[in-house]
Amino acid sequence: MIRGVDGTAPESPGSRVHRIHQKSKKYRPECDTLAQQTDPEGINMPGVFEVYVETHFSAAHALRGYPGDCARLHGHNWIVRVFVRCRELDDTGIGIDFRVIKEHVRDVLRGLDHCNINEIPPFRELNPSSENIAQYLHQELSRRINSEAVRVSKIQVSETPDAGAFYWEE
């Protein structure tokens, strides 16, 4: 079992991440007005906040069936950006604490870092392209982060600083 910095499982009651995340999940109607804007004609337009964290991991992969060099095992220093949306802010003006997002991202990436991604489920069957890795991260992080108050909006995965893929759900 993966343990947080305080020795507890990240989502177990009493853990630091659990306490911080629970605070960010509380619905606070008085904060709705912070995310509301009125256009010149007086029509209410709900506002949305989007925050992101960026991190990286190092791993190898091979693209099965690719007609070129990337079919051979090779590595990248992958760059990952996780975007999270919310409509409400807490008393300190925060939608979700960056530390909460970073802790969840660290937990998920721990399973990919310094590995051959082709050997990790679901990539034993699914080609480990940037697109598929972005979708995998979106699914894993959504299970951990999404609530009534916050939602993972999109994931960016880049193999190099100038080439990558986004994944989001509509």
Reported as type and span, the H/E element at residue 54 is: strand 49-61
Sign of CA dihedral 148, 150, 151, 153: positive
The whole-number pLDDT of residue 13 equals 56
The overall longest dimension of the chain from CA atoms, in Å, is: 59
The class (CATH top level) of 16-65+74-167 is alpha beta
Mean pLDDT split into 10-residue runs, the chain, 170 residues: 48 54 50 50 76 98 97 98 95 96 98 97 97 98 96 97 96
pTM for the whole thing? Answer: 0.76
- State residue 29's pLDDT score: 47
Show me where the domains of the chain are located.
Answer: 16-65+74-167
Burial of 162 (0-12, 13-18, 19+ CB in 10 A): exposed
